[in-house]
Amino acid sequence: MSHRAPPIALTIAGSDSSGGAGIQADLKTFSALGVYGASVITALTAQNTRGVTAIHDVPDAFIAAQMDAVFSDLAVKAVKIGMLSRPGAIETVAAGLDRHQAHPVVLDPVMVAASGAKLLTDDAVSTLIARLLPRAEIITPNLPEAAALLGTAPAADEEEMRAHAERLMACGAKAVLMKGGHGSGAQSVDLLVTPQAVTSFAAPRHPTRNTHGTGCTLSSAIAARLALGDDLVSAVGAAKAYITGAIAAADALDVGSGHGPVHHFFALWPA
């Protein structure tokens, strides 16, 4: 029997005690897409489908120790970065990426939870832009996140989405996936903007409130596909298809009484 070990992807993010977002969503996504997942936890959150009730930050030295432990032993093929709530954590992760020459990096600039809880301090925004945007192969902001990074109003149409992406690239990002889930219309349109081209990815909107972890899941799906060897456009396309299926099947899980999680294993646990 032939055997091929799966590629390894690393998530650097916060923990979600309800299992729908953060580290837990990332590891589920890696597994669903055939990638072995490792993790570096940057914060512990007490949360459920109704909201975040407490955040406990992991000390910077321990974040660095986790990164050193993983990279010194595991052949990491891609990195996904999620919740980094403080400047110190951002600086620590940036230094660790440089120390271990980690790439490609998918950066999801997590700023607000689906419940509305703020996950990034105001003084950390400039540090995130300066230290991590230039180190990422791609960043994946939704419309409010892109607006917050730029200090402007959210994009109202695809022309403004492209303009915001280009401004983020001017800040150092190599490529930007502007996620259109917060937009309007029958289709949810994401724009991948690179120096070479603009590629549109559209999918039907599904009327559900169970969207907890969508951003984490999409960015980790991109990292998984990059670890598997996809080019960037193919990785984003495959990730868009995956998150669309996970959202469409979310109601079948019936988890919690608030914003429930998407169904990461919809292909294995059909409704």
CA dist list (Å): 122 to 109, 143, 215, 254: 13, 18, 20, 34
For helices 232-248 and 214-227, the axis angle rounded to 10 degrees is 140
DSSP letters along 59-82, please?
Answer: PHHHHHHHHHHHHTTS-EEEEEE-
Q: Which of 140, 214, 217, 244 is catalytic?
A: 214
**171 is known as an active-site residue:** no
Q: Which of 77, 216, 217, 237 is catalytic?
A: 216
Q: Which of 28, 77, 179, 240 is catalytic?
A: 179
CA dist list (Å): 239 to 15, 68, 252: 22, 28, 21
**213 is known as an active-site residue:** yes
Calculated CA dihedral for residues 197, 203, 205, 209, nearest 10 degrees? -80
**240 is known as an active-site residue:** no
Q: Which of 96, 183, 213, 237 is catalytic?
A: 213
Q: Which of 14, 37, 82, 215 is catalytic?
A: 215
**180 is known as an active-site residue:** no
d(CA 131, CA 133): 6
Q: Which of 211, 237, 240, 260 is catalytic?
A: 211
Please identify every residue annotated as catalytic. Answer: 179, 211, 213-216
